[in-house]
Amino acid sequence: MTNGTFKQYEKLNFTDDFIFGKVLTNNKEICRKMLELILGERIKRIDFPEVQKNLKHTYESKGVRLDVYVEGDGETVYDLEMQTVAARNIPKRARYYHGMLDLNMLEKGADYEQLKKTVVIFICLDDVLGRKLPKYTISNTCLEDDSVEYQDEQTTIILNAKGIGTCESEELSNFLAYLRDRSVKDNFTKALENEVLSAISNEKWRCEYMTFNLRLMDERIAGRQEGRQEGRQEGRQEGRIEVISNLLEMEDGETISRNVLHATDEEIEQAKKLRIEEKDA
């Protein structure tokens, strides 16, 4: 989301969180196959994928919102995260996610011996670790003796779409190419692209995406005005007009503004005038 607006739904692709979640959680076979090519192993089945599963353990806690949460084969829990912008904090985010996944299982009645394996997977468009590898697999080891079996059963995998090393399979290489430039090179990436196109044509999801983002924008406008004692309402109204003005660039911008933001005729007219002023400036 930039400049008071957000990416048009028709321009979304698999690397956008919303489409990423919709595609994987509405097609178990695609999700299972993607896990297989990332892990390099067979997965018999997956259960109950959840988009943006919210793990929050106390009222005060920050909580974690997971892009795609998957339970596989009864023994492993997977968290799939799409990372489109460079981030230096991925290792500590992974540590936090593993911990919260464990707490979630413990709160459901499991004891330590019953904790499932956890695999946190970051699918990155950039090389966050800087070694140009297409895939980084991280697990805890004993520094003094790496032959010691330290079975905490926590694994973090970081995919690097810009990696230049040799991939462990042609399918993984093709998947990384798809992430980079949406190129279709095999049956899996073809199926993935078809699911993306189907998602883009889904009007219900389009409305869901627009509604979520517009409400988020409205909340941000309110947040920016928090704490102001004088002119707060005026400033918030100016922010609403700016949002509506940006929406008018879109094909259905006026309809969306009326239906989701409940914009009035007066606000629509003010937004149109603002657009003219910005173009003439």
User: CB under 8 Å to 129, separation ≥6 — which residues?
Assistant: 136, 158, 160
**End-to-end CA, the chain:** 24
Tell me the two tokens of residue 204.
Answer: 């219900």
Strand partners, 124: 83, 160
pLDDT score, position 226: 54
Please report, in tens digits, the pLDDT of each residue of the chain (281 residues total).
544 567 889 999 999 999 999 999 999 999 999 999 999 999 988 886 555 566 544 433 445 567 888 888 778 999 999 998 776 789 999 999 999 899 888 887 778 888 999 999 999 999 999 999 999 999 999 999 999 989 999 999 999 999 988 899 999 999 999 999 999 999 999 999 999 999 999 989 988 888 888 777 766 666 555 544 445 555 556 767 877 877 777 767 788 788 777 888 898 898 888 878 776 65
Cα-Cα-Cα-Cα torsion 229, 231, 236, 242, nearest 10 degrees, comes to -150
**Cα–Cα distance for residue pair 57/107, rounded to 1 Å:** 9
Q: Where are the domains of the chain?
A: 9-200, 203-280
Q: Using alpha carbons, select from 196, 176, 195 the residue that is nearest to residue 13.
A: 196
C-alpha 154/C-alpha 158 separation (Å) is 14
